[in-house]
Amino acid sequence: MSRSTDPKLRRLPLAALRRKTARIARLLEQHLGVPDRRMPLPEPLDMLVATILSQNTNDKNSHRSYTELRRRYPTWELVAGARPAAVRSAIRTGGMANQKSARIRETLAAVLRRYGKYDLSPLRRKSNDRIIGELTGLKGVGAKTAACVLLFSLGRDVFPVDVHVHRLCTRLGLAPETKNPERTYAAMKDLVPRGKGHSFHTNLIRFGRTVCRSSNPRCGVCPLYALCTFERRIEGKTAPKPLRRAPSRADHDFMLLDNV
């Protein structure tokens, strides 16, 4: 687990943490650009199921499992009525097919009971807190999954925290050291600049893939080196600013419905 090289950085007041977060968000936009939103936004139930399928697997496999599920069953009514073994077969490439197929079926059943149809569009009229409360009330749906629905489907200004974003927020000293991404999500709610939830989330994931990788981070080309508190960063690097590159289609794979 990463630890701060300077314990004082863990005791920054809220205002200082907000300034640091805003600076990091600006630097990432200078390096990676401002991410585009896919328009029109995907339906919230589509996003919810896609995010369930993304858990504990990589982007390529979760994307394949989602597209195969929708190829075989174009509507959620068909998924709900399909044999469990057939649903497991459709999503097998995403891993944990037994658990995920059961979770999807339970989610669809709960949506039908609550809203009378396989449709989460009524959420559009509700507040963020109310939506998070309703979604996390579904078995197997946590704060990250609910926040992904809010951000990528409902267009709300929220900041989802998965394990990768969690890693970067702790390395940068923005969030307390914890093994729980949901605690990091709570800590970051008051730090992310208004209107920057989508940009900051997306660019952190891009940045984590290309520079601040889980293992062997590329400290020598990191534009955030001076702001980093990661104890295992490579010392003595001058951190020249990398050349800005245009985002590729692959940068968006983690937003599963961008390529559907």
State the burial class of residue 49 (Cβ atoms within 10 Å of its Cβ: 0-12, 13-18, 19+).
buried
With b for 16 or more beta-carbon neighbours within 10 A and e for fewer, the 89-128 pattern comes to bbbbbbbbbeebbbbbbebbeebeeeeeebebeebeeeee
Catalytic residues: 144
* CATH number of the structural domain 44-154: 1.10.340.30
Per-residue pLDDT, 216: 87
- Domain residue ranges of the chain, discontinuous segments joined by +: 7-36+159-258, 44-154
Residue 253 clears pLDDT 80, i.e. is over it:
no
- Tell me which of 31-45, 186-200, 245-259 is least confident: 245-259
Per-residue pLDDT, 220: 87
Long-range contact pairs involving 212-221 (C-beta distance under 8 Å, separation at least 24):
212/167, 212/168, 212/171, 214/164, 214/167
pLDDT tier, 254 (very low <50, low <70, confident <90, very high otherwise): very low
Residue 246 clears pLDDT 80, i.e. is over it:
no
pTM metric for this prediction: 0.85
State the burial class of residue 79 (Cβ atoms within 10 Å of its Cβ: 0-12, 13-18, 19+).
buried
Average pLDDT over the chain reads 86
pLDDT tens digits, 167-215: 999 999 999 888 888 899 999 999 999 999 999 999 999 999 889 999 8
- Under CATH, what is the fold of the domain 7-36+159-258? Endonuclease Iii, domain 2 (1.10.1670)
